């Protein structure tokens, strides 16, 4: 990198090699490569452990705004802990993403006119590995662009050899403990991907359907054995096993236990009573199709009903009769037409909007289907996962999210872990010639000639092992002993159940009751500036790489983190990214100014400092303490706000401007040291959030080729600032706040009069013993006020903070316009006094109003009366005319 000049700090000014403008593209890639090559992200041996495992992105994925937020939060936590002296481990890696990856490779094969069946299983899997090596994992490179400080030496993949051994080990243990079993159950099925799906792989959306009311039983409308049911899936009636009613519904009491005719089939089915039925919904009677509806499946189990599949794996009707061979969506209108012909349609088909599940990968409508699958019995595992949060071993942040977690784990059903794919961890179960079943361990060979199960494991099965498999489990490695349990899991609340609960179950099970992480920090989803979900159909999707290209990684990160309230969704807009870029530029310009003027961090702080210096040092201590509190509570938005306003408003807009006066006299050397101190610690506070610009500025400020500071050669390992209560100076803060009010009021007056910010105006200042008199030079510099010369005649007078500022604005302001403005403000202040005074004089109000409300109104009255005095004085000071 460009080295700072060795002349820095030796005189009133120094040569500075920082460019006049900050260009992220010139800095970010160079700095990141240097950090990695120096091994700065690899855990050292010293310090308390702090570990995070990255939620592994899909090998098919690319960086999106959700990733950018999640990674920015994690990087902020890890960088801060590293600066605090912790041995930090942030484990990177990818998920093999079974369905998504298989679909990608199958599409590639289709371009060649081939299918996976043309290649065969072994050759197809080899082809997927080839694709992964050549095209998979581009998101890892994008993580570098965002600045992720992960330990690349520990990169993992859910299907690498170490993870495969971990999967085989835990499957064997669960199998031997009777917690894995095979059964026919109803599951989510994709007729296009031809596999079972997990709940997270099903996306529900409201679609327009048709509600059909059908009369079962007697074909006579007046018959007492007729029951009307309504359905949006008429084709599934071919597999009905019963009609269910609520046991307390008097309308159907005479029907329970009887059989009625199922239209179109010639079969008779029973009427059963079940608590699941809502008697207030529709007719109070529902058709029961155990093979094609999850709720019906449970009703069927309770009443020993047969499951009668009427569709094959592709959604084609298999029930013998006129509908056989029709696709499910072709069969639906055909069944309705046949029912209408028989007079079974009670009401005409009417539009009906309802929620329908779609395959996340191919958007095909999901079909509930009874299928022979492998399951994990979760009752005991889920109970342990709930207990770990209830007894405090694991803390969920924000705490109100715990209720959602308990809702999931306390009501969890057995987990379907088998997938009908070729890409993934193949289920390690073999079948013998006479139906024998064996599950050998990872270091054992199956019996010769036995056949392995053809299914693979759900992707979430292997990722549930991530917090400990990435640290060497099942071996008792040093990493596992030192860094497990991991310190914090950062993830979106939308996968609290799908991934977090699974990691909790497997971590507690595999690690003898030790939780996989101490804290679960949940964040919301990134949305557009109007709070709308980002969607291609809405046209509001933002690619974070576009922002990184245009505004830099730091601006992208700062925009996301500034909106990251605990558990809340994060709105973003491009103009906010522009504002974040401007913030980085503001830091750049302030630091460059400081360097040009000799600011430095060498030697002890001066014993005697000015009031202005004492003020900024005192404010720095407050901000350090505030940032610590906010980051410890995962409130990144508040931490960023505190840093933003301190950096921009207090350091750049006030201290730097006031320091210019001090840098021109005998206070210069002390001011250079204070200015260096403030920027040094401010940049360190900001580094976890905006790592690139802070590194470039900090090394320019705090390093010279001959004199590196005690912080080392990089801000990455510089010590995190600690608050020093002894530096607090409330008197200095109060005085500078008074000065700020004075300057702000005069600036407002100038702006109201149309005076340009840089326009100089002659003024006389009457201090009346105010301590602000000692800062006259600074006040004049900030307000562009010159000394009154010969012929000075005040045309305006502003009493502010016990100081009277008399301005000669002759020819510079519109006196009539100013008089009108003051009179308007005066009328408003008098009206406020009248209204509030009337309220405070009302005995009924004073008797009933809370003390806080009364106090607030008294403050309003006092402020309005003060405004009247000020405005009257200003009007009196205006020249005639």
Q: Binding-site residues, please?
A: 536
> What is the token pair recorded at 646?
């301190």
Torsion angle, CA of 669/670/672/673, rounded to 10 degrees?
120
**Could you identify the residue written with the tokens 């696709």?**
327
- Give burial (CB, 10 Å; 0-12/13-18/19+) of 852: exposed
* CA–CA distance, 199 with 398 (Å, rounded to integer): 24
* CA–CA distance, 159 with 423 (Å, rounded to integer): 10
> What is the token pair recorded at 688?
């976890």
Which of 865, 733, 735, 870 is CA-nearest to residue 805? Answer: 870
**Could you identify the residue written with the tokens 């992480």?**
517
Which of 695, 708, 560, 716 is CA-nearest to residue 640? Answer: 560
Which of 645, 590, 544, 747 is CA-nearest to residue 70? Answer: 544
* CA–CA distance, 811 with 262 (Å, rounded to integer): 97
Neighbours of 369 (CB within 10 A): 22
Q: Phi and psi for 648 in degrees, rounded to 5?
A: -80, -55
Contact 335, 264 (CB under 8 A): yes
- Collect all residues with Cβ–Cβ distance below 8 Å to 415 and sequence separation of at least 6: 375, 376, 378, 458, 502
- Collect all residues with Cβ–Cβ distance below 8 Å to 372 and sequence separation of at least 6: 182, 183, 184
**Could you identify the residue written with the tokens 């009707």?**
317
Q: Phi and psi for 437 in degrees, rounded to 5?
A: -130, 130
* CA–CA distance, 173 with 70 (Å, rounded to integer): 33
* CA–CA distance, 172 with 121 (Å, rounded to integer): 24
Report strand pairing: 259-262 vs 267-273: antiparallel
Binding-site positions for ATP: 536
Torsion angle, CA of 220/225/228/229, rounded to 10 degrees?
-140
* CA–CA distance, 27 with 711 (Å, rounded to integer): 21
Residues in the chain: 881
Phi-psi region of 209 (alpha: psi -120 to 50; beta: other; left: phi over 0): beta
**Could you identify the residue written with the tokens 């996306």?**
203
Alpha carbon 616 to its chain's center: 33
- Give burial (CB, 10 Å; 0-12/13-18/19+) of 836: buried
- Collect all residues with Cβ–Cβ distance below 8 Å to 619 and sequence separation of at least 6: 646, 650, 733
**Could you identify the residue written with the tokens 């608590």?**
275
Phi-psi region of 805 (alpha: psi -120 to 50; beta: other; left: phi over 0): beta
DSSP H helix total and E strand total for the chain: 28, 29
Report strand pairing: 395-397 vs 517-523: parallel
Contact 649, 587 (CB under 8 A): no
Residues forming a β-bridge with 260: 269
* CA–CA distance, 796 with 874 (Å, rounded to integer): 7
Q: CA 324 → CA 51, 223, 315, 361, distances in Å?
A: 58, 31, 11, 28
Alpha carbon 777 to its chain's center: 48
């Amino acid at each position: 990198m460009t080295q700072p000049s060795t002349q820095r700090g030796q005189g009133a000014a120094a040569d500075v090699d920082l460019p006049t403008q900050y260009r992220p593209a010139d800095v970010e890639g160079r700095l990141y490569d240097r950090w990695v090559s120096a091994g700065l992200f690899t855990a050292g041996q010293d310090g308390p452990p702090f570990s995070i495992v990255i939620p592994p992105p899909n090998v098919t994925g690319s960086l999106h705004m959700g990733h950018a937020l999640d990674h920015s939060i994690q990087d902020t936590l890890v960088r801060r802990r590293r600066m605090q002296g912790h041995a930090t481990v942030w484990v990177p890696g990818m998920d093999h993403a079974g369905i998504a990856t298989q679909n990608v490779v199958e599409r590639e094969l289709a371009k060649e006119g081939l299918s996976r069946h043309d290649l065969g299983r072994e050759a197809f899997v080899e082809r997927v590995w080839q694709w992964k090596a050549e095209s998979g994992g581009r998101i890892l490179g994008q993580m570098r662009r965002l600045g992720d400080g992960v330990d690349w030496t520990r990169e993992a993949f859910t299907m690498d050899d170490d993870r495969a051994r971990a999967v085989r080990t835990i499957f064997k243990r669960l199998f031997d403990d009777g917690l894995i079993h095979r059964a026919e159950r109803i599951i989510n099925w994709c007729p296009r991907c031809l596999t079972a799906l997990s709940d997270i792989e099903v996306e529900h959306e409201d679609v327009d359907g048709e509600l059909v009311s059908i009369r079962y039983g007697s074909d006579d409308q007046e018959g007492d054995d007729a029951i009307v049911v309504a359905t949006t899936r008429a084709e599934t009636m071919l597999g009905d096993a019963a009609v269910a009613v609520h046991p307390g519904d008097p309308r159907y009491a005479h029907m329970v236990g009887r059989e009625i005719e199922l239209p179109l089939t010639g079969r008779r089915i029973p009427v059963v009573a079940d608590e699941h039925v809502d008697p207030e919904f529709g007719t109070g009677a529902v058709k029961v199709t155990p093979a094609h509806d999850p709720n019906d499946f449970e009703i069927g189990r309770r009443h020993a009903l047969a499951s009668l599949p009427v569709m094959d794996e592709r959604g084609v009707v298999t029930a013998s009769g006129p509908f056989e061979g029709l696709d499910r969506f072709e069969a639906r209108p055909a069944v309705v037409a046949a029912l209408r012909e028989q007079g079974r349609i009670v009401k005409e088909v009417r539009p009906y909007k309802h929620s329908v599940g779609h395959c996340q990968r191919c958007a095909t409508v999901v079909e509930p289907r009874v299928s022979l699958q492998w399951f994990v019995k979760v009752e005991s595992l889920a109970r342990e996962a709930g207990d770990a949060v209830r007894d405090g071993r694991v803390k969920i942040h924000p705490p109100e999210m715990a209720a959602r977690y308990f809702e999931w784990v306390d009501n969890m059903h057995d987990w379907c872990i088998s997938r009908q794919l070729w890409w993934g961890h193949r289920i390690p179960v073999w079948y013998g010639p006479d139906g024998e079943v064996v599950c050998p361990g990872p270091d054992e060979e199956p019996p010769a000639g036995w056949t392995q199960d053809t299914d693979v494991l759900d992707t979430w099965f292997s990722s549930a092992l991530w917090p400990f498999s990435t640290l060497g489990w099942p071996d008792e490695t040093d990493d596992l002993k030192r860094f497990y349990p991991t310190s914090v899991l950062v993830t979106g609340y939308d996968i609290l159940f799908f991934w977090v609960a699974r990691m909790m179950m497997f971590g507690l099970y595999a690690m003898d009751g030790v939780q996989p992480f101490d804290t679960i920090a949940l964040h919301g989803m990134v949305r557009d500036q109007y709070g709308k979900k980002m969607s291609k159909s809405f046209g509001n999707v933002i690619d974070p790489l576009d922002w990184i290209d245009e505004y830099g990684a730091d601006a992208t990160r700062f925009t996301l983190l500034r909106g990251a309230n605990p558990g809340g969704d994060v709105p973003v807009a491009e103009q906010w990214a522009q504002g974040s870029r401007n913030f980085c530029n503001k830091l750049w310009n302030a630091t460059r100014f400081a360097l040009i003027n000799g600011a430095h961090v060498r030697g002890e702080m001066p014993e005697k400092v000015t009031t202005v210096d004492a003020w900024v040092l005192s404010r720095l201590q407050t901000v350090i303490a505030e940032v610590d509190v906010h980051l410890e509570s995962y409130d990144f938005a508040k931490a960023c706000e505190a840093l933003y306003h301190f950096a921009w408003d207090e350091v750049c807009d006030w201290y730097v401007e006031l320091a210019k006066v001090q840098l021109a006299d005998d206070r210069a050397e002390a001011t250079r040291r204070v200015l260096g101190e403030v920027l040094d610690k401010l940049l360190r506070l900001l580094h976890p959030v905006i790592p690139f610009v802070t590194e470039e500025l900090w090394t320019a400020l705090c390093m010279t080729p001959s004199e590196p500071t005690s912080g080392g050669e990089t801000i990455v390992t510089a010590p995190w600032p600690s608050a020093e209560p002894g530096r607090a100076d409330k008197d200095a803060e109060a005085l500078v706040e008074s000065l700020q009010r004075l300057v702000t009021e005069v600036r407002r007056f100038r702006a109201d009069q149309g005076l340009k910010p840089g326009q100089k105006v002659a003024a006389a200042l009457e201090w009346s013993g105010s301590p602000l008199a000692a800062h006259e030079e600074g006040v004049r510099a900030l307000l562009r006020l010159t000394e009154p010369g010969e012929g000075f005649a005040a045309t305006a007078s502003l009493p502010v903070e016990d100081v009277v500022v008399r301005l000669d604005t002759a020819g510079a302001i519109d006196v009539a316009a100013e008089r009108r403005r003051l009179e308007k403000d005066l009328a408003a202040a008098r009206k406020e006094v009248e209204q509030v005074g009337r309220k405070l004089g009302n005995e009924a109000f004073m008797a009933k109003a809370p003390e806080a409300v009364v106090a607030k109104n008294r403050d309003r009255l006092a402020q309005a009366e003060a405004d009247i005095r000020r405005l009257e004085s200003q009007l009196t000071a205006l020249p005639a005319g």
